[in-house]
Amino acid sequence: MPTFLLPSRTRRAVLIVLLLLLQTAGYGQGRHPKLLEVAAHGKYQPGWYTLQDGSRHAGKLRMWQTPTRNSLQVEQGKADPLNLAPEQLRYFVMGRDSFVVARQVPLAGHPMTVPFGEADIYRVVMTGKFHVLQHDQLVPSSGAGPGQYGGPSHDFAWVLRPAGQADLVVLPSEDKAFAQEVPAFFIDNPDLAQRIHAGLVGHPDFKRIVYAYIFGKDVEQVTYEEAGTIFR
């Protein structure tokens, strides 16, 4: 019997089943082998990447993320995408964004703690007096157990390369640790460093802190919108 002759309630049920079948049929396309997490950035973007051996390659790229891994995917037409782990890369450009691979980046104040593993991908958001990068990690949603609804979410961390230094450092997000460890990076602006140490500005104010530091402004006079203009 043609679908349009079925009762309205039955037609709705049939359409739902068809939609589910279509989603299931396309679910494995473009996915990392044995992983069922959706890529964080679904569309490929033009760009290029440099491997550890120094060779540079152009292609259409996208980030691929799971709760345990960040990697780069290169489109290969009808063939499965090429999956490149951080250990295979030096840096890459994807659309308007630049990324570097850094190894053993410690947490500020804890040089033996490497929160993001041996090697991982970091987006460059500002260069100049010092570099600011951002780390994006996919984490399981809290409270989402087996059979429960709730997909993974993104956890962002700020990463610095202070002026005159070659190494990167991850800034803590917890209020007490931020107030204790971060003032040292802005010590040549004593008023700003003191306000950070006192907890008057913290991790949520990081863009304002950087803006005030670079332009020699009072951090309390810097808006979030103004601060965001210097970040990519």
Of 96 and 145, the structure prediction assigns the larger pLDDT to 96
Domain assignment present for 84: no
* DSSP-assigned beta bridge partners for residue 74: 61, 82
Domain membership of residue 225 (yes or no) is: yes
Inform me whether the pLDDT recorded for 38 exceeds 60. Answer: no
Structural domains of the chain, count: 1
Q: What is the mean pLDDT of residues 78-89?
A: 95
Q: Which two tokens mark 9?
A: 């309630």
Question: Terminal CA-to-CA distance of the chain, rounded, Å?
Answer: 57
Please name which of 188, 186, 116, 200 lies closest in space to residue 155, comparing C-alpha atoms: 116
CA 30 to mean position of chain CA atoms: 20
CA–CA dist 34, 9 (Å, integer): 38
Residue whose C-alpha is closest to residue 157's, from 133, 128, 130, 175? 133
Answer yes or no: are the C-beta atoms of 108 and 165 closer than 8 Å.
Answer: no
Distances (CA, A) of 218 to 114, 129, 162, 204, 227: 33, 18, 20, 17, 12
Mean pLDDT of the chain: 82
Residue 111 located in a structural domain:
no
Residue 54 falls inside a structural domain: no
Is the backbone of residue 77 left (phi > 0), alpha (psi -120 to 50) or beta? Answer: left
Confidence (pLDDT) at 139: 85
Residue 145 — very low, low, confident or very high, per pLDDT cuts 50/70/90?
A: low
Instruction: Give backbone dihedrals phi and psi of 204, rounded to 5 degrees, phi first.
Output: -65, -20
Query: Cβ(59)–Cβ(74) under 8 Å?
Result: yes
Q: How far is CA 77 from CA 53, 60, 61, in A?
A: 25, 10, 12
Tell me the pTM. 0.78
At 172-223, the pLDDT tens digits run 999 999 999 999 999 999 999 999 999 999 999 999 999 999 999 999 999 9
Question: Is residue 48 in some structural domain?
Answer: no
Domain contains 224: yes
Residue at 194 is within a domain? yes
* 3-class secondary structure, 64: strand
Instruction: Domain of residue 220: give its range.
Output: 172-232
The answer to whether 124 and 133 have CB atoms below 8 angstroms apart is yes
The average pLDDT across 163-180 equals 92
Q: Which two tokens stand for residue 137?
A: 């990690």
The amino acid sitting at 146 is P
